[in-house]
Amino acid sequence: MAKVQVLNVSVLDNPSPFGNPFQFEITFECMEDLPEDLEWKIIYVGSAESEEYDQVLDSVLVGPVPAGRHMFVFQADAPNTGLIPESDAVGVTVVLITCTYHGQEFIHIGYYVNNEYTDPELRENPPVKPNYTFNKAVAVSIVFGN
């Protein structure tokens, strides 16, 4: 049995404008005391073509963690638009939440993110250079992995 079980992740402030922070309420349970820190990260996938555009939006150490149920809100600033390829700015991408213990990733949770313009005119005729006034919609779809 795993020492840590993620019980729930709630996406807060969803949908929201692109420049707003990502916010997740994470509830997890430790089956035993963990003397070392858990490292949680939020990663924005800038392009499906290459990991070079992935951005670690924030990383937080939680610990030591006593046995029991725990909850925290994990907030990270929006991605740096200068690091996102223009061809990948609008449309569907992914944001990942990962957790490691002793340098070993034991869970990652993925959410589909749809970056779209709220203005109907921009939807029909998107500019060549992205205008980051669009809303990001974080889908409820969850992809668990290890």
The pLDDT assigned to 1 comes to 62
Fold of 4-145: Immunoglobulin-like (2.60.40)
Q: Is the pTM of this model over 0.85?
A: yes
Task: List residues bridging with 44 in a β-sheet.
Answer: 55, 95
Domain ranges of the chain: 4-145
**67-116 pLDDT, tens digit each:** 999 999 999 999 999 999 999 999 899 999 999 999 999 999 999 998 88
Confidence tier at 122 by pLDDT (50, 70, 90): confident
Output the six-digit token pair for 55.
């951005």
The average confidence (pLDDT) of the chain is 89
Average pLDDT over residues 117-124: 84
Nearest to 114 by CA among 15, 13, 12, 25: 15
